[in-house]
Amino acid sequence: MDVSDAALVAQTQAGDGNAFRVLVERHSRKIYRLAFRLTGNEADAEDVVQEAFLKAYRNLGNFNGQSQFSSWIYSIASNHALDLLKSRKRRPVQSLTEEQESSGPQLTNLLASGTPDPERLASGNEMRQVIVVALDEMTPQERVAFTLRHFEGRCMEEIGASLQLTTGATRNAVFRAVQKVRRALHLVEGGPPWRTKAESGT
């Protein structure tokens, strides 16, 4: 039977280095996937993973178990990725993970209200192009919030905790990111900028 994360954390806090190695092996793949989604390239993603686990190890003595280890390491990785995105020169997204490439249905639901030709949204090539354009237009904060919400399925409270934002500010960041996805959709479609009824004031 697999040892729980909580037990492994306790063992690490008691001085068992092998226990933390198990935590790294258990969660590194998911953290790398998150980091790659956020940064858009392998080198930065690997840096995020290394720094996240290093920081977690150094601060494990302060981890009180009020949240799950997986949520805690997600928060650390998200924050490091955000700092990295803020500090580096603007760099377009060059590639996407398989999950992003197959995310048409997710974004179809996201943009369902008033979205033209939803069948085209399910096309891998169309959606991949939309995501690349949209992510490149997002601020670092919007990019992290949008990724955590719509690719990682995190709730607003978790995202806010990761970004040190209020729930309201988190919702606003996600909303702004969604608007950029909608605009990117129309750039791909070759149509005029699309506005919802609420945005147009009608």
- Residue 151: what pLDDT? 83
**Structural domain for 162, as ranges:** 98-200
Alpha carbons 81 and 32: distance in angstroms, whole number: 11
In this structure, are 164 and 110 located in the same domain?
A: yes
Of 39, 62, 87, the residue at which a domain comes to its end is 87
pLDDT value of residue 126:
67
d(CA 170, CA 103) in angstroms, rounded, equals 22
188 occurs within a structural domain: yes
Instruction: Look at the chain and report how many structural domains it folds into.
Output: 2
Q: What pLDDT, on the 0 to 100 scale, is given for residue 195?
A: 44
Q: What local confidence, expressed as pLDDT, does residue 40 receive?
A: 83
The whole-angstrom separation of Cα 160 and Cα 165 is 5
CATH code at 166?
1.10.10.10
CB-hemisphere CA count at 13 Å for 49?
21
DSSP 41: S
Let me know if residue 130 belongs to a domain. yes
CA distance 58 to 85: 23
pLDDT at 157: 92
Element (H, E) at 197: helix 197-200
Residue 192 has a pLDDT of 41
Same domain (yes/no): 17, 43: yes
Phi-psi region of 191 (alpha: psi -120 to 50; beta: other; left: phi over 0): beta
Structural domain includes residue 57: yes
Predicted local confidence at residue 93, as pLDDT: 52
Would you give per-residue pLDDT tens digits along the chain (202 residues)? 578 999 999 999 999 989 999 999 999 999 999 999 888 889 999 999 999 999 999 999 888 877 899 999 999 999 999 999 988 765 545 445 444 444 544 554 544 544 444 444 445 566 667 777 788 889 999 999 998 988 888 899 999 988 989 999 999 999 999 888 888 877 655 544 444 444 433 3
Last residue of a domain, one of 68, 87, 106: 87
CA–CA distance, 134 with 11 (Å, rounded to integer): 43
Residue 155 lies in a domain: yes
CATH of the domain at 31: 1.10.1740.10
pLDDT at residue 168, as a whole number:
95
What φ, ψ does residue 157 adopt, rounded to 5°? -65, -40
Composition of the chain by helix, strand, coil, percent to 5: 70, 0, 30
Instruction: Based on the fold, state whether residues 127 and 191 are members of the same structural domain.
Output: yes
Residue 110 lies in a domain: yes
pTM reported for the whole predicted model? 0.74
Does residue 92 lie in a domain region?
no
User: Per-residue pLDDT tens for 63-121?
Assistant: 887 789 999 999 999 999 999 998 876 554 544 544 444 454 455 454 454 444 444 44
